[in-house]
Structure 1
Amino acid sequence: MLIPTHPDSTTALDVEVTGAGEPLLLIAGMSAHRQMWTDELLDALTPHFEVAVYDHRGIGGSSRAEAAFTTADLADDARGVLDGLGWGAAHVMGTSMGGMIAQELVLAHPDRVRSLVLGCTTAGGPGAIGSDGVVRLVEAISSRDAARVARAAFEVNLSPGFRSGDGAFDRFAQSSTRRKVPSAVVALQAAACAGHDTRDRLAGISVPTTVVHGDIDEVIVVDEGDRLAAGIPDAALERWPGVGHMFWWERPERSAEVMLRTAKSAG
């Protein structure tokens, strides 16, 4: 379904809702679309939550994005999804850029977020982004060669152990190319991520929060998870050994367990 970001807005986001239970909003990362949340993860979440996934502006079936935006702007988009679904408040899981958006969402609208899982993400600042992996990925995206992009994303985002599995690349490539992801929009997203900085505001997050980071993440520097958790009052931190950036691909059931446990702590 298409949901306007504001009642009078011409910008609408493509949203899909499945499952039954308390509301859960999943916020995807840079260059990702709503079908990058795996079936395995959704199958583990939907018995417990009514889960909403959506395409960011400019991605998939959502409205085009032509002007620059910030992670705070994208958080306002997320708030629009909550409004459009009639959800007064929801549990939220945000990964990578989606985790940055989730931070801005809970800081701007603390009454709309019941609990928070921040995965493979950062509060921003110098040196937060893993340079080598990101450079490889940006170069591939700039080439506009879909096969090269899929291969680079596969190698940068996932651990060697996961990549060695039978059919792992084919499955990833099929999933990542299901919906349009224009390179110009990815460039706008990258600029938004580069400008993200919530370091001085993290103490204002008061909802139950868990930070998850794979310990061989090549996209977001691993120590960023530690810094993020340290800045949020009473946040739990989980570092997963041998896991890359897209931890929910590699450990879908465990990812769902973390979300469920965090949500339950909200009462």
Structure 2
Amino acid sequence: MTYSESVIPVSGDMSLFVAQTSGHRPLLVIHGGPDWDHSYLRSPVDRLAMRVVLPDLRGCGRSAKAAEYTPDLAVGDLLGLLDALNIEQADLLGFSYGGMLGQRLTLAAPDRVRSLIVASSSILPVLTNAFEGWTERDALRAAESAVWESSLEGPELTRTAAFAGAPANVWQALPTYLRLLHEVRFSAEWIGPWRAGTLPPARPENALERLAALDIPILLLHGRYDMIFPASLVSQVSFARKVILDDAGHMAHVDQPRAWIAAVEEFLSCGFTAA
């Protein structure tokens, strides 16, 4: 399916750039980064027979810049977008950082959420020793860490870090992923508060207990070799459906696009029973 593109005012001076496919049942897809745009997620979600709504977060891609950046403000923008699009209730798919924003939105406005997919992200905190002993991961992640400690600034910092981290983010589809990265419009609006230590955590407090109390179907969709959010955290969430894809890393939708979208389709159609 093809995407239509528009800029939609959501509140005050804030407008979000949005790509959409045609369809009736809406799926709001929240990208990660956060200083990326949505483009690396356009495929394979465009294969869904749904109204896929893919916004750029505030300050990201082609959305408006803002004076302040917090997870709660981003969630407010997304709720404003649903209002502007006359969407009373949507399925949510949050990827990586967007997975935590998706949890936050679900907890803030559960009546607006039909179901939640947390993809390549985590409900539980990542402990400091979560990857202990995984020497391959340590070596691959070192290149990106060095970029963040460099003198680069602005979008060039975000872009360079993304390319340096590419071998750690996919398990077997590096050439495909690199082509996707060349299309991403990187920004650097969220870096300031992050470096200053003023950016609040995106993961909601007590998310596990609070999400378990909601009557909302949840899918955890993960790559077994994710080097950002360990796959071991998935099995610890008893109330959600869980799909862990073999031969896939953090960008599981790039490594295993068919299996990834099949898991999404099954969950959205009939997979609402915890497993």
Greater per-residue helix proportion: 1
The answer to whether 1:154 aligns with 2:166 is yes
Q: For the residues of structure 2 that align with 1:75 and 1:100, how far apart are their CA atoms? A: 10
Q: For the residues of structure 2 that align with 1:245 and 1:89, how far apart are their CA atoms? A: 28
Q: For the residues of structure 1 that align with 2:32 and 2:80, how far apart are their CA atoms? A: 18
For residue 251 of structure 1, report the CA deviation from its aligned partner.
2.0
Q: In structure 2, which of residues 199, 208, 227 is the aligned counterpart of residue 218 of structure 1?
A: 227
Q: In structure 1, which of residues 180, 186, 192 is the aligned counterpart of residue 186 of structure 2?
A: 180
The 1:249/1:103 distance shift into structure 2, 3 A limit, reads same
1:18 corresponds in structure 2 to 21
Query: Which residue type is aligned with residue 164 of structure 2?
Result: A
Q: For the residues of structure 2 that align with 1:189 and 1:255, how far apart are their CA atoms? A: 31
1:100 corresponds in structure 2 to 100
Residue 116 of structure 2 aligns to a residue whose secondary structure is strand
Equivalent pair of 1:208/1:265 in contact (CA under 8 Å) = no
The answer to whether 1:237 aligns with 2:242 is yes
Q: In structure 2, which of residues 206, 212, 215 is the aligned counterpart of residue 203 of structure 1?
A: 212
Q: In structure 2, which of residues 247, 256, 261 is the aligned counterpart of residue 256 of structure 1?
A: 261
Which has the higher mean CA deviation after the structures are superposed, 184-193 or 243-252? Answer: 184-193
Residue 147 of structure 2 aligns to a residue whose secondary structure is helix
Matches within 5 A, 1:5-44: 5-6=10-11, 9-30=12-33, 31-39=35-43, 41-44=44-47
Residue 44 of structure 1 aligns to a residue whose secondary structure is coil
The 1:134/1:67 distance shift into structure 2, 3 A limit, reads farther
Q: For the residues of structure 1 that align with 2:254 and 2:179, how far apart are their CA atoms? A: 11
1:171 corresponds in structure 2 to 179
Q: For the residues of structure 1 that align with 2:191 and 2:142, how far apart are their CA atoms? A: 13
Q: For the residues of structure 1 that align with 2:28 and 2:203, how far apart are their CA atoms? A: 24
For residue 55 of structure 1, report the CA deviation from its aligned partner.
0.6
Higher relative contact order (CA 8 A, sep 6+): 1
2:125 corresponds in structure 1 to 125
Q: For the residues of structure 2 that align with 1:122 and 1:225, how far apart are their CA atoms? A: 7
Query: Which residue type is aligned with residue 111 of structure 2?
Result: D
TM-score (norm 2): 0.79
The 1:254/1:217 distance shift into structure 2, 3 A limit, reads same
For residue 140 of structure 1, report the CA deviation from its aligned partner.
2.4
The answer to whether 1:137 aligns with 2:144 is yes
Equivalent pair of 1:2/1:62 in contact (CA under 8 Å) = yes
Query: Which residue type is aligned with residue 34 of structure 1?
Result: H
For residue 266 of structure 1, report the CA deviation from its aligned partner.
7.9
Aligned-pair Cα RMSD in Å: 2.8
Deviations 1:229-258 (A, max 9, x none): 32xx3x111111121001111222222222
The 1:209/1:23 distance shift into structure 2, 3 A limit, reads same
Residue 200 of structure 1 aligns to a residue whose secondary structure is helix
Identity of aligned residues (%): 24
Q: Which runs of 5+ in 1 are unaligned?
A: none
Equivalent pair of 2:95/2:120 in contact (CA under 8 Å) = yes
The 1:250/1:126 distance shift into structure 2, 3 A limit, reads closer
Query: Which residue type is aligned with residue 253 of structure 1?
Result: R
Q: Which runs of 5+ in 2 are unaligned?
A: 1-5, 132-136
Q: For the residues of structure 2 that align with 1:80 and 1:218, how far apart are their CA atoms? A: 33
Q: For the residues of structure 1 that align with 2:200 and 2:40, how far apart are their CA atoms? A: 20
